[in-house]
Structure 1
Amino acid sequence: MREQQKNISKRRWLVLLFACLTNLCLGSVYAWSVFAAPMAEYLGTITGTGITTADLAIVYTVANSVGPITMISGGWINDRFGPKKVILTGGVMFGCGMILAGLSTSVGMLMVTYGLLGGLGLGMAYGCTISCCVKFFPDKRGLIGGLTTAAYGFSSVLLPPVINLLVEKVQVKMAFILVGITFLVIISVSSLFMFSCPDGFVPEGWKAPEKQAGGQKETDKDWKEMLKSSIFYLMILLLMSGAFSGMMIISQASAVGMEMIGLSVAAAGIAVSVLALFNSFGRILAGFLSDKIGRVQTLTLACFLSVGGNVLLYLCGKGDLILFYIGISIVGICFGAFMGVFPGFTADQFGAAHNSVNYGIMFIGFAMAGYFGPTIMKNVYYKNGSYTQAFLIAAGLSVAGIILTVLYRMCKKREK
């Protein structure tokens, strides 16, 4: 038994490595803007219509919105048949979605292939990699949640220049196909190294905290029990509030830089990369910090910082380059904090046994932020001809996040 425990304690790092490699491929969805302009031009040419990147925005929205569906269903399959099959299926769907996107001849076909098929595959594989790794690392849940989600976020830094080069060399149609084939192969191979964490596994040399004495099973709750808990509703609203600022700014960071600060197209592209870098860094930093000081304390700190970051962006004007970069860096770190901490936070609260499904349901909070953030920012701009008021709304949501962390502590105290 001891030898088996020692072996799994070593193999879990290999699982983490290939989970991060899988997420690096899946995070290419953030590189959509690289595909959008040349794809709009290509579809406009073959259809004889004036298609713009705005017409293709629905494709990106669908790809990001359908993820929770397969995160939940894939989590249910993962709990019964293991992560290998789930990640393989998700990888095939995601890769084929990109390959077929390269063969698309209309916006509708692109929405079905890249948006629907690719988005469903993304949700299935992404949710499985995170929940699988969190189960293997009860001693480092925050850090592991940060690393697995950071790999996903770092894709937005690493892949755009590669994809951009491909588009220039072989045109957008073939770029979709080549990237799709590459990701399909990488994720399929990675799935072979994934396996389920054995029940009752404890890492070698680690002892569960006293509050878990009696076994993790006593705290495990399935999705039905989770939905009966008032804590769940505070957490999902907290996730939506915390992710709102990041999703709002990520959706239009380049346009914000050009319109508010007067950046050139190239400089605005650098701003997007800076935001992505701090987003990835925030996931790892906050995950590590949450293992030391606690999940809710880390999230409270992130909310306070987010208020400050949004206020700085509200105060920005033409030429305020330093203020702008400080603002988006803070927002990037805070957004990353929520994405890195919440997988472990969910497992801590409702147990690791059903975390595949539970975190999939919790992720609906992120999907809501992904819809309301960009929508509100767009509407504010159309109404006022400026983005500035949107940052006050985002700051208000961060204040709401602080209030939710206070309510969470009150509920936990009442439970005890």
Structure 2
Amino acid sequence: MSQSKVPGQAWVTVFAGTAINLCLGILYAWSVWKKALVNPELAGEVMTGIDAGWTYLTNSQAATPFSLCIIMFMLCMVPGGKIQDKLGPKACATIGGLCLAAGCIIAGLMKSYTGLIIGFGIMGGIGMGIGYAAPTPAALKWFGPHRRGLIAGLVVSGYGGAALYISPLARYLIEGYGITGSFIALGVIFALVVIVAGQLLNTPPAGYQPPAPPVEASAATAIATKVDWEPSQIVKTKAFFSLVIMFVLATQSGLLIIGNAAGLLSKAGSAVPFLVANAWILAAYGGITNAVGRVGTGVYSDRIGRTRAYAINCGVAALCMFSLPMIIASENILLLFIATGIGYWQYGGLLSLMPSFVADFFGGKNLGMNYGLVFIGWGLGAFMPKLGGIIQDATGSLDLAFYISGSLLLASVAIALLTRRPDDSHLLADAPTAKSEATADGLEERKAA
């Protein structure tokens, strides 16, 4: 039976999920760590002072732990989604928090390239992937399709907003306690918050039906499958592969900017000593637009549809990627903030669009596992930061990487416009409960979709 209003526990789950993602967003501190670690001319030489024991890295080397973390994040979203669906979000968040703490402590204590790969790249990625699988599916199960964009945006806004405070916090810790101290402090504090907030996550009881959409709700966004697809079923659909490819092509541009934000401001603002010394400002600013983009995109995707929202975001971001080489060369700080801000918005919005796409296409019951499978596309997008590092080492700039990235965004728009929700009529026939709930108008809407 459908509820008249959303229970209070639903909103507790939403904001507990936001708190968890505020901590899992430690990934966005990487550009600050990278700035402290990279010096191609001194690569391999041992640092002195507070960072004694660490060695300088090349751009390509520094891209490896970041890219590996993303890959592990991707791979662990699948088992994380299974843990979420089977054992519940509390267990999922707890395991993720413990792995994150262990990874950061390992990275800090080993003081080496190998330690960064094992600690931040592997263990950190495992913690982020399993932890990230907990909040969004749990929250979306409480709400109907007409609010999925908003709810997904609120939950994942924490991950994007993390850059707002993590970048300056990481810089403060590096300056005061060294690279080692920053890794250990952030890992332990964030793990505690993830574990505690995770205990506030709950999924709806058996038989729960979210409130029905209002009469004036947009048909384009209120339409959704009436049945719950199994993971083994979704991988047989064209829509699944389209969503994965869309994820890959739209993710790569955001990761390219995130992994190089501090360096971009240092280069474009080379004539301004303050900007060179405080290049973390661009990463922190990016956190704001990233977070707002997640909520904002979620809101207008509920009104104009996921596909239109995706196409608008990626199309505008592509123009910005094509413009970045010229903007950096001209040292126009205002245009740099506008272009990267749009890039952060597009990337942030993607993370609210994709779980909403999956829930609309395949239902909410198995959302943890189903979204984990589609989330593979996010991890595959990690090729771009590594490619960008190789291009930068070879040419001295990221210009070619930006042109490639913009082209891929345009390709993603074309794929999105051709993607349709898979036909669920054969599943609906085998789901008597769902069939009884489907009205004649609903059947017509699904045919129109």
What is the deviation of 1:176?
Answer: 2.6
What CA distance in whole angstroms lies between the structure 2 residues aligned with 1:387 and 1:65?
A: 22
Conserved? CA contact 2:90–2:134, under 8 Å: no
Residues 113 and 319 of structure 1, relative CA distance in 2, 3 Å threshold: closer
1:362 corresponds to which residue? Answer: 374
Gaps of 5+ in 1: none
Conserved? CA contact 1:274–1:329, under 8 Å: yes
What is the deviation of 1:151?
Answer: 0.5
**Residue of 11, 18, 28 corresponding to 2:26:** 28
Root mean square deviation, CA, Å: 3.2
What is the deviation of 1:178?
Answer: 2.7
Pairwise mapping of residues 209-358 of structure 1 onto structure 2 (< 5 A)? 218-259=226-267, 262=270, 264-266=275-277, 268-316=279-327, 317-358=329-370
SS in structure 2 of the partner of residue 219 of structure 1 = coil
Deviation sequence 1:16-56 (CA, Å, 0-9, x none):
11111111111012112334565789975598684336444
Conserved? CA contact 1:145–1:342, under 8 Å: no
What is the deviation of 1:353?
Answer: 1.0
Deviation sequence 1:264-307 (CA, Å, 0-9, x none):
52364323333332222211100111111111111011122122
1:386 aligns with 2:393: no
Deviation sequence 1:97-133 (CA, Å, 0-9, x none):
2233332243323322232122101100102211111
Residues 151 and 207 of structure 1, relative CA distance in 2, 3 Å threshold: same
Letter in 2 for 1:149: V
SS in structure 2 of the partner of residue 103 of structure 1 = helix
More helix by share: 1
Residues 319 and 57 of structure 1, relative CA distance in 2, 3 Å threshold: closer
What CA distance in whole angstroms lies between the structure 1 residues aligned with 2:9 and 2:96?
A: 23
**Residue of 75, 85, 107 corresponding to 1:79:** 85
**Residue of 16, 19, 26 corresponding to 2:17:** 19
1:118 aligns with 2:124: yes
Conserved? CA contact 2:289–2:344, under 8 Å: yes
Letter in 1 for 2:127: G
Aligned residues: 411
Gaps of 5+ in 2: 39-43, 424-445
Letter in 1 for 2:18: C
2:161 corresponds to which residue? Answer: 154
Letter in 1 for 2:356: G
Conserved? CA contact 2:70–2:379, under 8 Å: yes
Residues 408 and 107 of structure 1, relative CA distance in 2, 3 Å threshold: same
What CA distance in whole angstroms lies between the structure 1 residues aligned with 2:231 and 2:66?
A: 29
**Residue of 60, 65, 71 corresponding to 1:65:** 71
2:112 corresponds to which residue? Answer: 106
Residues 173 and 311 of structure 1, relative CA distance in 2, 3 Å threshold: closer
Residues 260 and 192 of structure 1, relative CA distance in 2, 3 Å threshold: closer
Conserved? CA contact 2:156–2:351, under 8 Å: yes
1:52 corresponds to which residue? Answer: 57
Deviates more, 1:322-331 or 1:362-371: 322-331
What CA distance in whole angstroms lies between the structure 2 residues aligned with 1:355 and 1:205?
A: 19
Conserved? CA contact 1:69–1:123, under 8 Å: yes
Letter in 2 for 1:51: Y
What is the deviation of 1:203?
Answer: 3.4
Letter in 1 for 2:351: M
SS in structure 2 of the partner of residue 193 of structure 1 = coil
Conserved? CA contact 1:90–1:122, under 8 Å: yes
SS in structure 1 of the partner of residue 7 of structure 2 = helix
Conserved? CA contact 1:36–1:53, under 8 Å: no
Conserved? CA contact 2:77–2:133, under 8 Å: yes
1:189 corresponds to which residue? Answer: 196
Deviates more, 1:275-284 or 1:11-20: 275-284
Conserved? CA contact 2:266–2:276, under 8 Å: yes
Residues 47 and 163 of structure 1, relative CA distance in 2, 3 Å threshold: closer
Deviates more, 1:389-398 or 1:282-291: 389-398
Deviates more, 1:60-69 or 1:98-107: 98-107
Conserved? CA contact 2:157–2:294, under 8 Å: yes
What CA distance in whole angstroms lies between the structure 2 residues aligned with 1:369 and 1:241?
A: 7
Deviation sequence 1:292-334 (CA, Å, 0-9, x none):
1111111011122122222332432323333322221222211
What is the deviation of 1:348?
Answer: 0.6
2:149 corresponds to which residue? Answer: 142
After TM superposition, the score normalised by the length of structure 1 is 0.88
Conserved? CA contact 2:31–2:259, under 8 Å: no
Deviates more, 1:163-172 or 1:243-252: 163-172
2:434 corresponds to which residue? Answer: none
What is the deviation of 1:335?
Answer: 1.6
Residues 290 and 199 of structure 1, relative CA distance in 2, 3 Å threshold: farther
